[in-house]
Homo-oligomer: A and B are copies of this chain.
């Protein structure tokens, strides 16, 4: 059984103004991909939203086939799920999937930290990290929660890119996209001050070449983010359902 809120969400109606820009003449697959995934990462397309092929095609001024390709790619990255004969929906990771993401990220991030420290002699490395941290602080100052969460994820992608391991960077991109979804699904709004200047501290440890400290900070950072989530109970919907049935 579906809830009312579910059906409400299954529409692009409200999100249209945010996503629509113009029906450009020629738009590449990558642009469509980027626009959709950024919208998802910034929660303008909340989990569960139906991504109708025709609607997206009209919004982007592209053919349905092209949109379809992009949706297939997003599905492989688990950011959207495809229900056969029913269409594409923004993914709603389960608690179990959320735990798995953090479990995989921990050792991967540690690897990235080690490699970045090895390469820190190049001053551009630390410079770019500091630059990004500043952008994060700006978003935080502006109280732009969407940008904060997206930029938080992108910090880790940037770190992976700077590590020189392109494979790790690609995986980190996938994992941070999923992490954004997870945060929006499970983050307890009561703890907004979560993960504040931790990126800054990690950057400093990297600059100092203090590997043990950097890994410790990174691990605690991930622990912290995960601890902020309400992974004890099920998804919000299931919770609502339970509450409704109890009442």
Residues of chain A having any CB pair with chain B under 8 Å: 69, 72-73, 76, 97, 100-101, 103-104, 106-108, 110-111, 115, 165-168, 171
Q: Which of A97, A100, A108, A115 has the most CB of B within 10 A?
A: A100
> CB-nearest residue of chain B relative to A93?
B167
Residues of B within 8 A of A107 (CB): 107-108, 110-111
26 A-B pairs with CB atoms under 8 Å apart are: A72-B72, A72-B73, A73-B76, A76-B76, A97-B166, A97-B167, A100-B165, A100-B166, A100-B168, A101-B167, A103-B111, A103-B115, A103-B167, A103-B168, A104-B108, A104-B111, A104-B165, A104-B167, A104-B168, A104-B171, A106-B111, A107-B107, A107-B108, A107-B111, A108-B108, A171-B171
CA distance A34 to B212 in the complex (A): 42
CB distance from A166 to the nearest CB of B (A): 6
Q: Which of A76, A106, A167 has the most CB of B within 10 A?
A: A167
> CB-nearest residue of chain B relative to A103?
B165
Q: Which of A104, A108, A111 has the most CB of B within 10 A?
A: A104
CB distance from A37 to the nearest CB of B (A): 14
CB distance from A114 to the nearest CB of B (A): 10
> CB-nearest residue of chain B relative to A178?
B167
Residues of B within 8 A of A97 (CB): 166-167
CA distance A128 to B104 in the complex (A): 24
Q: Which 10 residue pairs across A and B have the least CB separation, nearest first?
A: A107-B107, A100-B167, A100-B165, A107-B111, A104-B167, A104-B168, A76-B76, A103-B165, A73-B76, A101-B167
> CB-nearest residue of chain B relative to A108?
B107
Residues of B within 8 A of A76 (CB): 73, 76
CB distance from A58 to the nearest CB of B (A): 22
> CB-nearest residue of chain B relative to A168?
B104
CB distance from A6 to the nearest CB of B (A): 25
